[in-house]
Structure 1
Amino acid sequence: MPTTLRTYKYRLYPTRPQEAALFETLRLTRQLYNAALEQRIAAYRKQGKTITGYDQQRELIALKQECPEFRGVYSHVLQEPLERLEKAFKAFFSRLKRGDKAGFPRFKSAQRWAGGPTNLMRKRPR
C-alpha cells in the first residue's frame, strides 16, 4: 500500500515587533552568507586555500562574541546560510567536473534571499 505524505502550510500573522525581528534575522543571515562567500573567495585568491562550511561554522562562536547583533539569533539559524553556501559550492564544483555551465555562487541581495521581504510584505488582515 503506498504511503501518503501530507503537507501543512501555516500562515504567520506576526505583530509589528515580531515582524521587525523576523526582518532583522533575515538581514543578518543574508549578511552572514555574503560575508562567508567573500571569506572563501579572499582565502582562495590570497593563499590558494579553500575554506569549508565546517570551518566557517566553527567560527560562529567568535562571531557571536565580537558582533552583538548576532547574539540574538540562534546558532542553528546561523548555521543554515553556511550550509546553503556549502551546498552551492558543491553543486558548482560538480557542474565543473561534468563540463556543464558552472554558475559560481552569487552574493545575495534582499530580493534574491529566499523567503526575503517580498514574501513577508504581502497585505495581511489586521
Structure 2
Amino acid sequence: MWRTIGGMLGTDLCPNNIWQYFSWCYSFLPDGEIFYTFGLAALCWAAWNCRNRTTFEFKKMRSPFDVIYVACGFITYWAGLLMGEDREAMERGAKMLRGNAANMMRICAAPGGVN
C-alpha cells in the first residue's frame, strides 16, 4: 500500500509510523496539509474494510491493490465535502493514485502466455 503511494510521489521511502507518515507528506506534498489526514483516514479505513471483508465475509481480495482502489473511492466520495480548488485537488489526487496503482499492478503481474 505504502509503496504504491510512494511510487506516485516518486520515492522509495515508506513510513513506518504515523509521525513518519506526516513528515513524508510534508516532504512530498508541502502545500497539501489539509489532505494529510484525509489520505491517512482513507487508507486506514480501506485496509480495515478489506480486512473485514476477507475475515468475516470470506471474500478473497483479488489483489493487494484492492486496498488502494477502495481508498481512492473514499477519497473521491469525501472530496464532495470540500468546495472549489480543494475538491478538484482531492479528486485529482485520487485519480493519480488509482492510475499509479493500475500501473504498478501491470508491472507486478506475472507475464501471461509464457510456456
Bucket of the pairwise TM-score, normalised by the shorter protein: 0.3 to 0.5
TM value normalised by structure 2: 0.41
> TM-score of the superposition, structure 1-length normalised?
0.38
Q: Which has the larger radius of gyration?
A: 1
